Chains A and B, each alone.
Chain A
Amino acid sequence: MTAHQTIAKASAPTPAAQTVEVLTGAEIVVRALVDQGVETLFGYPGGAVLPIYDALFHEPRLKHILVRHEQGATHAAEGYARSTGKCGVVLVTSGPGATNAVTGIVDALMDSIPMVVITGQVPTHLIGSDAFQECDTVGITRSATKHNVLVKDVADLAKAMHEAFHIATTGRPGPVLIDIPKDVQFSKAVYLGPDEVRFNHVYAPRRQAEPAKVRDAVELIAAARRPILYTGGGVINAGPAASEALRTFAKLTGAPVTSTLMGLGAFPAGDPQWLGMLGMHGAYEANHAMHDCDVMVCIGARFDDRVTGRLDAFSPGSKKIHIDIDPASIGKIVRCDIGLIGDAGEVVRQMIDAWTERGLKRADQAAWWAQIDHWRARKGFAYSPSSSIIKPQYAVERLYALTRKADAERGVFITTEVGQHQMWAAQFFHFHQPNRWMTSGGLGTMGYGLPAAVGVQAAHPGALVIDIAGEASVQMTMQELSTAIQYDLPIKIFILNNEWMGMVRQWQQLLHGERYSHSYSQSLPDFVRLAEAYGGVGIRAETPDELDAKIEEMIACPRPVLFDCRVEKAENCLPMIPSGRAHNDMILADMGVSLDSVIGEAGKRLV
């Protein structure tokens, strides 16, 4: 509690005991946040939300983190939500406040992150008049949100607030936006609690799958000689119990487990059944196993194009079971033989029960595992080491190794930006628990990682929170370092600095005849001095010899750190399934193929 709040609280009159509470719209917003169990929100004040900020001033139970840009608020809320399983909350003003938040809102929509965004709006009588800082927020965010609403009558506000949390956190989670005109924030109405409101919408996502289909699914899995579990972010969203259920089910079936980028951590990376991440830059063994399996069980993933590669050659010989809470995801990209609609955790639990009840025994998988060992022996993530230059892969490997002690003691959380460093983080940093890995998967938002780390650290003050970053991405939201300093959030920003937009450079090499059009940053800041200018700590590592000591120094530092790790400039992110190719058609680092020749004319038109 700040000094201001302490004074405000002491001087506030004690509320008289009464059953009906009449509050202003602004007070209703704040009260509803408290009643929804919100502890932390991320925001930026402005003219059209000042009444709500005034109400916040009087509410010590809510911690508000003042960001430096509204996009930062949304990513921080995403990091907060992803690392806690709770709903992220954002409060921003009208006009530019709302439009700046749009990127993070779409990011949350694509990655199914529960988020409630409260935007101020110009007074009701000015709506549509092109007023100062007016924009059509609900119009702009209609396709960016799971649901949004403009509340024009203060009597509807409490209901809208509670329903927003219900919609954001249930079913396939996503962002819900509430737009509140300034006059509504001043008007008064009776406050209704979460249990007193009746929602406007008939919205009841299904949580459990049909038992008959579950039985069919487990029979199919038990009979499989080459099964695979392909898991995604849905398992993380379904909570820690879902990860537990996945581990039990994997043991029961003996099937290998692979995961999408979003699902890392749901299954422990150290487990013998773990194949690693699949997809464009995924593990050689995971992609080959996906291609050759006979039964694929997709749990909370959505057959994204980064995962499937060439669709008409995607796992051609397998029966597919798809578990998803969103009926529209089933059959959207890939036809499945059995679709199970429900919560990932509950449906896996149903499958465990059905398996046990029916006393199923798994089929002989010996040949399958021998084949998998053969693929593993190919060592798809191998790279050529260097004793003079820091290889980015090596940097992430060392970061992983040197953070094990901190992980055992206080927990390590990783966020990333988007690009090569993101893929190297996914390949070389290993996750053993859910909610420890925050990355922008669907939208691929450069600039996600730094503010997300702020959100994670706000939720886990004692933990070691590291943003594995690229020097290009991190500059998109660099200003949030100032937020970290203000709230004493000791995040570590570990920049793999190769001076290029690395993934863009790699694709230009692959697709555009090595014409590196505008992908080199000719003028980069001195990150060490930049950190110091913000009030943080800057560390630079330039050779492999000094890397370990510098990383140790970063981990031990109790303040925010900007770590400028100078890495090999022209390293490519491999292995890779080139565009237009199948899972069993990967290029590996040691194949010695010229990268600019592997993609044909048709493939070059893809993204």
Chain B
Amino acid sequence: MSETLPADSAGSAYFMDHEQGTQRRATFAVIVDNEPGVLARVVGLFSARGYNIESLTVAETDRAVHTSRITIVTRGAESVLEQIYAQLKRMVQVRQVMDVGGDPGWVERELALVKVRGSGEHRVEALRIAEIFRARVIDTGNDSFVFELTGAPDKIDKFESLMRPLGLVELSRTGVLSIARGAERV
């Protein structure tokens, strides 16, 4: 039983570093009741508790039972990701939460629309790269293309970096969608 007070050093809940530990990227697929305010509640949870959102997609997916599917890509240490899962799961409007990031049983896809402006050699090169990436031309003019491209996020990143020197002027991405492989439904 010590009654002397040792030299001070920091360490309490206020110094808990949520960023500590190895971070990983995670994708959560969240099935929610489709009603006003539910997206705000989910997003509010992330901002209130200091979690990141790297991408977010949402749309109604089952009209009969009024459920929407929200796909959130986030990043954090394992303990933080566990908290995000638990905090999402306890929300009244949330029916189901799946942590699907990095699971080889799931596929992730994203859609991008890419506007490239240029002429001459650059224009030919852009078209050639688009072909390699199986991007479709959905609009064209004398000095521009709009490409439509789907793929995993890193494929779209790669496409962007190749197109940038060829005159990429604008990029629109949907954010990640995910679904499990195989015949089972979630």
B12 and A305 form a contact (CB under 8 A): yes
How far apart sit A172 and B2, CA to CA, in the bound complex (Å)? 39
Instruction: Name the B residues within 8 Å of A10 (CB-CB).
Output: none
> Which residues 150-199 of A have a CB within 8 angstroms of B?
150, 167, 171-172
How far apart sit A437 and B10, CA to CA, in the bound complex (Å)? 34
How near does chain A come to B8, taking the closest CB pair, in angstroms? 2
> Which residues 80-98 of B have a CB within 8 angstroms of A?
82-83, 86-87, 89-90, 92-93, 95
> Is B37 among interface residues, defined by CB-CB distance under 8 A?
yes
> Is B7 among interface residues, defined by CB-CB distance under 8 A?
yes
Chain B residues within 8 Å of chain A by Cβ, number: 33
Instruction: Name the B residues within 8 Å of A330 (CB-CB).
Output: 86
Chain A residues within 8 Å of chain B by Cβ, number: 54
Instruction: Name the A residues within 8 Å of B92 (CB-CB).
Output: 146-147, 167, 201, 203
B13 and A202 form a contact (CB under 8 A): no
Q: Which of B1, B35, B41 contacts A142 (CB 8 A)?
A: B41
Instruction: Name the A residues within 8 Å of B16 (CB-CB).
Output: 311, 333
Q: Which of A167, A327, A378 contacts B86 (CB 8 A)?
A: A327
Find the A residue at minimum CB distance from B43: A142
Find the A residue at minimum CB distance from B87: A328
Q: Given A200-B35, A585-B2, are A580 and B90 also a contact pair (CB < 8 Å)?
A: no
Write out, one digit per residue, whether chain B residues 50-89 have a CB within 8 A of any chain A CB (1) or not (0). Answer: 0000000000000000000000000000010011001101
A602 and B82 form a contact (CB under 8 A): no
How far apart sit A574 and B179, CA to CA, in the bound complex (Å)? 57
How near does chain A come to B163, taking the closest CB pair, in angstroms? 40
B95 and A606 form a contact (CB under 8 A): no
* Surface stretch bound by B, among A118-126, A237-245, A419-427, A593-601: A593-601
Q: Which of B8, B33, B37 contacts A602 (CB 8 A)?
A: B8
> Is B11 among interface residues, defined by CB-CB distance under 8 A?
yes
B37 and A142 form a contact (CB under 8 A): yes
B79 and A331 form a contact (CB under 8 A): yes
B95 and A593 form a contact (CB under 8 A): no
How far apart sit A331 and B37, CA to CA, in the bound complex (Å)? 28
> Which residues 11-44 of B have a CB within 8 angstroms of A?
11-16, 33, 35-37, 40-41, 44
Find the B residue at minimum CB distance from A308: B13
Instruction: Name the A residues within 8 Å of B2 (CB-CB).
Output: 584-585
Instruction: Name the B residues within 8 Å of A138 (CB-CB).
Output: 37
Excluding A150-B36, A584-B2, A607-B14, 12 further A-B contacts by CB distance (< 8 Å) are: A139-B37, A149-B35, A171-B90, A201-B93, A202-B95, A304-B13, A313-B11, A328-B87, A580-B11, A580-B15, A581-B5, A603-B10
Binding site for A on B (CB under 8 A): 1-3, 5-16, 33, 35-37, 40-41, 44, 48, 79, 82-83, 86-87, 89-90, 92-93, 95
